[in-house]
Amino acid sequence: MLKKLLGIAPILESDGSYSPSKLALKLGTVSKTDYENISYEKYQGKKSKILVIFTEQKNMNMQNGKLFSTGNHPVEALLPMLHLKNAGFDFEIATLTGKPVVFEMWAFPDKDDHVKAIFDEYQSSFAKPKKLQDFVDNSLTDTASYAAVFVPGGHGSMLGIPENENVGKVLNWAHQNDLFTVSICHGPGSFLTTTLNNGEFIYKGYNMAVFPDSVDKMTPKIGYLPGEMPWGLSEKMKSLGVNLANTKSDKTVCLDRKLITGASPLASNELGKLAAQTLLGALK
């Protein structure tokens, strides 16, 4: 009751999951982003496609048994997409089984016309995405058409994706064929797939921006998460030989070889700019 009065009690949803408290929403989300509408010299070549791997899962089971209402963070997905679209790239939207993309709609910036526009433009693809298995079966031979793979963040990107063999096949394909890989916040959990079936972690020794476990451990105190995380991402990356470029959930972005990463939702605009400029420079 006291937590409710203070606005720090997570909000119970109709399916029994919890979304962030009123205070957490006030501190951790925005109604309008810091997106910069930049006019890039548009890419005109054949490698114009970017595969975006979204989550189709909504609820994360926390250590205390409570469910966190999650999905992909809309700002982390849509701001980088806005920059890349302005730079002349297009997207193939995929989930693991072809079920609809799940967004953390409680984090949607409802007063941001640019974000709303690209969300509406790709709404049919979010509702009926490609099945990742079909991409693996049909597109891994088509390196000439693709520039990058993008795995957006949101805690939902830690559900199913880090254990999925097809994600591992796609990331290895991108790595072996000099395509770029872009990810942000909790999205780098997808990189764990490269270790499946006794595979070698392909990003060992890389510099990388990842959402810090230390922040995830603090956020239950303000009701952002309804309990402790089931496992920690940044420490897992560190244990595999990653050099973490950030210690806070800030605007840090990082480019290392063909890997482009960002630390948190606050880095979404910077990640989009870095990805767009890097891809344009590399594909001239």
Alpha helix positions (H), 177-267: 213-218, 233-239
Query: Which of 185, 225, 237, 245 is an active site residue?
Result: 185
Please report, in tens digits, the pLDDT of each residue of the chain (284 residues total): 545 656 689 999 999 999 999 999 999 999 999 999 999 999 999 999 999 999 999 999 999 999 999 999 999 999 999 999 999 999 999 999 999 999 999 999 999 999 999 999 999 999 999 999 999 999 999 999 999 999 999 999 999 999 999 999 999 999 999 999 999 999 999 999 999 999 999 999 999 999 999 999 999 999 999 999 999 999 999 999 999 999 999 999 999 999 999 999 999 999 999 999 999 999 98
Tokens found for residue 80: 């980088």
**What pTM does this model have?**
0.97
Alpha helix positions (H), the chain: 2-6, 22-28, 74-86, 113-121, 123-127, 132-139, 165-176, 213-218, 233-239, 268-282
CA-based nearest residue to 93, from 52, 55, 134: 52
Q: Are 35 and 82 in contact (CB under 8 A)?
A: yes
CA-based nearest residue to 279, from 76, 35, 82, 89: 89
Q: Which domains does the chain have, with CATH numbers?
A: 14-29+49-83+100-282 (3.40.50.880)
Catalytic status, residue 185:
yes
Alpha carbons 256 and 277: distance in angstroms, whole number: 14
Alpha carbons 236 and 247: distance in angstroms, whole number: 14
